[in-house]
Structure 1
């Protein structure tokens, strides 16, 4: 089982460093995960410690697409950016969103709260990541609804009378 951690195009060193802490890596290992891949964006690679772990660990700044990493993971830990959240949710994976409390006018919290209320994810702050990981096995996640890409077109067709009636 694998975990993918992403901060998108931002810098969220606090999250990356915490995921790579001995406590969190041990917890992930105890939960049955065997691999952690972290995308650290404009931040720094925080995997620099000597803790014993049985996990396979890799990290990188950017890739042309994060979708392959999301698709192969069982759990995604993400910053609360809208793009990253939606990409993870459409991949159909368990998602923990970590809100960056250092951002001014933290609109990310509102998005995370709404998606949590709809039972699509769990959210927390960096300091509460361990407690949130412990809740994973007891939480029920609902699938994120598929995009309805034709709704606007269908609405315009109806409005202009272009809809074919049978």
Structure 2
């Protein structure tokens, strides 16, 4: 992996994903992040029991907060984003054209997040893992292999509506 990811943004969204918070803050995962060049982490922790603040662990500066009105500035200023698999978070990062590693919360019931993460990985837009595999995943990924997420095309919806509501000529 030739690119260095000095600034990393990590988000759990509006949910509680304590396992991801604990996993990221572990010395071994912080070391894996350092290996890919990470020096600064901005970490949105949601409702976690972990305390917001500024930390220096394993030589990485970690700025921790719970919520903001918008995380777009954090996404845009990051070299790499690690996120839970919520659809809103994934799309916001992909639309910002940032490399994305999604961590699936396996504790969720009826876990639609894994289906989204799998499909977006199959399509080549992101990589996904679990908390158990994040360390090994970080060590083997090549984010340069990802395909940019396509920009929205509003004309497709208009074409669809035209096709659905087109009045068909009556047969004579």
- Shared fold per TM-score greater than 0.5: yes
Deviation track 1:89-116 (CA, whole Å, cap 9, x = no partner) reads 1111111111111011111111110000
Partner residue, 2:117: 112
Contact 1:20/1:47, CA 8 A, preserved across alignment? no
Contact 1:76/1:94, CA 8 A, preserved across alignment? yes
Deviation track 1:65-91 (CA, whole Å, cap 9, x = no partner) reads 000000000111111111111111111
Partner residue, 1:87: 92
- The correspondence of residues 116-131 of structure 1 with structure 2, limited to 5 A, is 116-131=121-136
Q: Which runs of 5+ in 2 are unaligned?
A: 1-5, 168-172
Partner residue, 2:137: 132
Aligned residues: 160
Structure 1 CA distance for aligned equivalents of residues 19 and 99 of structure 2: 22
Structure 1 CA distance for aligned equivalents of residues 56 and 44 of structure 2: 20
Structure 1 CA distance for aligned equivalents of residues 154 and 49 of structure 2: 37
Structure 2 CA distance for aligned equivalents of residues 6 and 138 of structure 1: 18
Contact 1:17/1:46, CA 8 A, preserved across alignment? no
Q: Which runs of 5+ in 1 are unaligned?
A: 162-166
Match of 1:22 among 27, 30, 35: 27
Deviation of 1:136 after TM superposition, in Å, equals: 2.1
Give me the CA root mean square deviation.
2.1
Contact 1:80/1:112, CA 8 A, preserved across alignment? yes
Aligned residue for 1:144, secondary structure, equals: coil
Distance 1:16 1:52, change over 3 A: closer
* Shift >4 Å, 4+ stretches: 157-161
Distance 1:33 1:51, change over 3 A: closer
Deviation track 1:40-81 (CA, whole Å, cap 9, x = no partner) reads 112232689x98522221011100100000000011111111
Partner residue, 2:104: 99
Structure 2 CA distance for aligned equivalents of residues 21 and 38 of structure 1: 14
Q: TM-score, normalised by structure 2?
A: 0.84
